[in-house]
């Protein structure tokens, strides 16, 4: 397992960092998006993909299933910590952004679904 296998995850991490640090005034406001909770779906999808891409290189790893599962758990918990930390960054340092528990819940859901998917798809023995 080489560092190059993590490049897609690192790129998505950088993109998510930029998106989460955008000032609130740059984010378009459409009332119908609020009705369908689009913001929360974006958080779920972004954090699912982030954790999933960090777990993906383990599918070709020489680690046994229990070691992989520990890494998947670590990735999930790291994703949750990152999402929570970014809410504090938005609250204190990003203009027109706020702290939302709903965003943390959505980030957590995305990380958890990625954890489940990783356990299912990346622990099979060939």
pLDDT digits (tens, 9 = 90+) for 5-37: 999 999 999 999 999 999 876 666 666 555 556
13 lies in some domain: no
Number of domains in the chain: 1
Q: Is the pLDDT of residue 126 over 60?
A: no
User: What's the rounded Cα separation, in Å, for the pair 3 and 32?
Assistant: 42
**Predicted confidence band at 80 (pLDDT cuts at 50, 70, 90)?**
very high
16 lies in some domain: no
- Supply the mean pLDDT for the chain: 91
86 contacts: CB under 8 Å, gap ≥ 6: 17, 20, 21
**Predicted confidence band at 79 (pLDDT cuts at 50, 70, 90)?**
very high
pTM beyond cutoff 0.75 = yes
53 lies in some domain: yes
SS3 letters across the chain: CCHHHHHHHHHHHHHHHHHHCCCHHHCCCCHHHHHCCHHHHHHHHHHHHHHHHHHHHHHHCCCCHHHHHHHHHHHHHHHHHHHHHHHHHHHHHCCCCCCCHHHHHHHHHHHHHHHHHHHHHCCCCC
Q: Is the pLDDT of residue 73 over 90?
A: yes
56 lies in some domain: yes
22 lies in some domain: no
97 lies in some domain: yes
28 lies in some domain: no
19 lies in some domain: no
Tell me the residue range of the domain where 94 lies: 34-121
Cβ burial, residue 14 (10 Å; 0-12/13-18/19+): exposed
């Amino acid at each position: 397992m080489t560092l190059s296998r993590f490049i897609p995850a690192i790129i998505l991490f950088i993109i998510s960092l930029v998106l989460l640090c955008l000032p609130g005034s740059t984010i378009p406001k459409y009332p119908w998006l609020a009705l369908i909770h689009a913001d929360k779906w974006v958080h779920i999808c972004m954090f699912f993909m982030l954790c999933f891409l960090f777990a993906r290189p383990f599918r070709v790893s020489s680690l046994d299933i229990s070691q992989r599962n520990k890494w998947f758990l670590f990735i999930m918990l790291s994703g949750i910590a990152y999402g929570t930390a970014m809410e504090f960054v938005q609250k204190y340092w990003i203009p027109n952004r706020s702290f939302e528990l709903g965003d943390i819940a959505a980030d957590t859901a995305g990380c958890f679904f990625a954890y489940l998917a990783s356990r299912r798809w990346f622990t099979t023995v060939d």
